[in-house]
């Protein structure tokens, strides 16, 4: 097994080995091994229920019953020192409806950088996060009056406030129209290219896979493949990542027709 130190610039942002999570007696993540390179967009793709959210929660340190190795930015996942270095956006936007967009951001900025001395820093950070998600024009609108897509962008803006090294996004484009989806992917690309941010983005929309530098294709708690979109297409002879995914599913089904993820462990 590889050992990476905190200061190792070549170290992946996330390194998992034999990562297993049991939920309610079911093995939801089954001995996963993978790495997420720094400064790139890694897509975690797979059908609903395959374990994407569980893996993301393990990476940010909020998932119980994790075994195996999981290092994040050179530390064990969940280490308190990682908190300010990781931005996490869940599927349900965490936004206060009775505050405006700006007040939401001001509040979270004050939690991150408290004190009078940080006032200008907070103000600049809020303005930048608003611009990042294209909500400057809506800054003074109550969050409760926003559309679903706008609310999820407020959540993303909150995650960007701390200038995280690692941004973990759980299905960030669900429910967004094609224009907003494109704009968000352009933002993700800019974050990786201009700020060196590492992005780990889950999706079950296969066309989004084409926009990633690297893919983790997941099914039933296991990885079917870990590669670049181009390599996946080449390897399977498929014209799209979606077709490559289906090809790999069929191949896995032939190799192991009855994959049972049920374990004998007690229910938790
Ligand atoms: N508390 C629980 N007890 C038992 N099984 C659970 C529990 N929570 C989730 N699961 C199961 O774990 C599996 C993985 O769930 P997870 O939410 O990680 O999937 P997902 O790929 O993110 O799906 P989605 O895209 O629908 O959110 C699912 O099959 C789900 O039914």
The predicted-structure confidence for 184-209, as pLDDT tens digits, reads as follows 899 999 999 999 999 999 998 888 89
Name the CATH code of domain 14-244 (choices 3.40.47.10, 3.40.1350.10, 3.40.50.300, 3.30.565.10): 3.40.50.300
Which residue's alpha carbon is nearest to atom 17 within ligand 1?
Answer: 53
Residue whose tokens read 């039933």? 220
Q: What is the pLDDT of residues 224-248, one digit of tens each?
A: 999 999 999 999 999 999 999 999 9
Q: Are 126 and 158 in contact (CB under 8 A)?
A: no
Q: Going by CA atoms, what residue is nearest to atom 6 of ligand 1?
A: 23
pLDDT at 261: 45
Residue 66, strand partner residues? 21
pLDDT of residue 262: 43
DSSP string, 163-182: --SEEEEESTTTT--HHHHH
Report the alpha-carbon distance of residue 164 to residue 176 in Å, rounded: 24
Contact between 52 and 1 (Cβ < 8 Å): no
Nearest atom of ligand 1 to the alpha carbon of 46: 21
Q: Which residues of the chain have pLDDT under 70?
A: 1-9, 256-268
In angstroms, the CA 149 to CA 42 distance is 22
Ligand 1 atom index nearest CA of 218: 21
Residue that the structure tokens 């990885």 belong to:
223
Q: What pLDDT does 257 receive?
A: 57
d(CA 43, CA 36): 9
**CB 242, CB 207: distance < 8 Å:** yes
Angular region, 137: left φ>0, alpha ψ -120 to 50, beta rest: alpha
Q: What is the pLDDT of residue 178?
A: 87
SS3 89: strand
- What pLDDT, on the 0 to 100 scale, is given for residue 16? 97
- The per-residue DSSP string of 62-113 comes to --SSEEEEEEETTEETT-GGGGGGEEEE-SS----TTSBHHHHHHHHHHHHS
> Under a CB-based contact definition with an 8 Å cutoff, are residues 32 and 24 in contact?
no
């Amino acid at each position: 097994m590889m050992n990476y130190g905190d200061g190792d610039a070549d170290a992946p942002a996330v390194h998992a080995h034999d990562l297993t999570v049991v939920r309610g007696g079911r093995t939801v993540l089954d001995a996963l091994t993978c790495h997420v390179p720094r400064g790139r967009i890694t897509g975690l793709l797979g059908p609903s229920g395959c374990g994407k959210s569980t893996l993301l929660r393990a990476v940010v340190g909020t998932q119980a019953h994790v075994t195996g190795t999981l290092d994040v930015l050179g530390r064990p996942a969940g280490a308190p020192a990682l908190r300010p270095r990781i931005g996490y956006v869940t599927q349900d936007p965490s936004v206060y409806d009775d505050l405006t967009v700006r007040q939401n951001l001001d509040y979270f900025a004050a939690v991150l950088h408290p004190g009078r001395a940080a006032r200008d820093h907070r103000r600049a950070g809020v303005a930048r996060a608003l611009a990042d998600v294209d909500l400057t024009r809506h800054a003074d609108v109550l969050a409760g009056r926003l559309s679903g897509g706008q609310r999820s962008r407020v959540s993303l803006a909150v995650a960007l406030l701390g200038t995280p090294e690692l941004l973990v996004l759980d299905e960030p484009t669900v429910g967004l129209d094609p224009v907003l989806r494109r704009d968000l992917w352009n933002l993700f690309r800019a974050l990786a290219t201009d700020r060196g941010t590492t992005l780990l983005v889950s999706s079950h929309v296969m066309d989004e896979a084409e926009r990633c530098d690297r893919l983790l294709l997941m099914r039933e708690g296991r990885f079917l493949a870990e590669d670049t979109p181009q390599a996946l297409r080449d390897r399977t002879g498929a014209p799209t990542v979606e077709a490559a995914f289906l090809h790999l599913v069929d191949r896995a089904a032939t190799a192991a027709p009855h994959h049972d993820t049920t374990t004998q462990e007690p229910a938790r």
